[in-house]
Structure 1
Amino acid sequence: MNRRRFLAVGAGSAALLAAGGWWWSTQSGQPKRAALQTPAARVLITALIPAVVGQPDGKPLAGAELAAAADRMLATMAGLPLSAQDELGELFGLLDNSAFRRLAAGISTPWEQATPEALAQFLQSWRTHSLSLLQVGYHALHDLAAGSFYADPSTWGPTGYPGPHIQFS
């Protein structure tokens, strides 16, 4: 690919992303936080939590433990200020879009079919990306997933964390 073609593809991609962002912002009069309460958001959350926390006790995270962590993450997001919920709703809405998922996350399959390695690579690419907006998205997803998982005291044992020790003097 020559330089002229590379620049044309880059400019076209930027225009497409800008148009997609504008289109998304004009889609409905309802707050964007509504995207956090969709089945698609739960699918994304359920896919991301194992990619963030790994295998704390040596076995893949699944079943009731994963469902409980997803419930805690949804509850945590519902307790955030409305402006933060709207921003997360926009992020989840974009990540639900298959074109955006392929372009910005590098995931060509639906979230529930993505491998943990592909999800970890997606998160790592956003963590180290030159665009600070993607870094902020990474930190939001990472902190919510990790915090929601480790908020349950039953998850502390496999990590060796004995729990909080409060001493009063």
Structure 2
Amino acid sequence: MSPDWAPATALDRRGFLKLGAGSAAAFTLLGASVQLAGCSQQAAPAAAGFRWLTAADLPFARLLVAGVAGSALPADPAIADAALEEGARRIDICLDALDAPAQKEVRKLFDLLQWAPFRRFAGGVAKPWTEATAADMQTLLANLSASRLGLLNGAFRALAKIGSVVFWSQPVAYPLARYPGPPAWAVAALNA
């Protein structure tokens, strides 16, 4: 006799095994679809002139800098474009300097953000990064930041730190930060 509080649809052993087998099949299918959809680009070589970023990463890296810089990005299109290109190069240098486990995690994040279903549902960006704008990147960052999932919040923090460091460390951003630049004697000592 079952107690009065027992649920009407108790999970017996057979149901538990079916649930486990179904879940395993679903996760296997999801993993295979991610691999086949091109989400994992771990074997992709670095783009020409770069150490770590792939050709698919470059539009994303430029937009990351533009999205984080926001209105601080120079109004002159030529200067802004140069700042975005320098930002992508600095992202490449920073990520190349990470240790292997950290590089692996960032690679997973970058590959996941290239995958259209994730980009659309978790980040709110339907366009591929080659067609997206700085506003789209800001939408992605806002959605990752506002997510109830700690993993997505962590992705936001990582992307915001990367974008902030590479933009605000450029000489074009010094006047905005009221930073006069390194002292001349320090530059001379480094170049000697």
**TM-score band, normalised by shorter chain:** 0.7 to 0.9
Cα drift, residue 82 of structure 1: 0.8
1:54 to 47, 51, 70: 70
State the match for 1:22 in structure 2.
31
TM-score, structure 2 as length reference:
0.65
1:144 to 145, 148, 162: 162
Q: CA RMSD in A?
A: 3.2
- Percent same amino acid among aligned pairs? 28
Does the C-alpha gap of structure 1 residues 94 and 113 become closer, same or farther in structure 2, counting only changes over 3 Å? same
Report Cα offsets for 1:100-138 as digits up to 9, x if no partner.
Answer: 211211111111322322321220111121101001101
Pair 1:65-2:78 in alignment: no
Pair 1:37-2:53 in alignment: yes
The CA distance in 2 between the partners of 1:50 and 1:136, in whole Å, is: 20
Cα drift, residue 76 of structure 1: 0.3
Q: Point out the structure with the larger helix share.
A: 1
TM-score, structure 1 as length reference:
0.73
Give 5+ residue unaligned stretches, structure 1.
1-14
The CA distance in 1 between the partners of 2:154 and 2:117, in whole Å, is: 21
The CA distance in 2 between the partners of 1:21 and 1:84, in whole Å, is: 24
Pair 1:108-2:126 in alignment: yes
Given that 2:61 and 2:87 are in contact with CA atoms closer than 8 Å, whether structure 1 keeps it comes out as no
Structure number with higher relative contact order (C-alpha < 8 Å, ≥ 6 residues apart)? 1
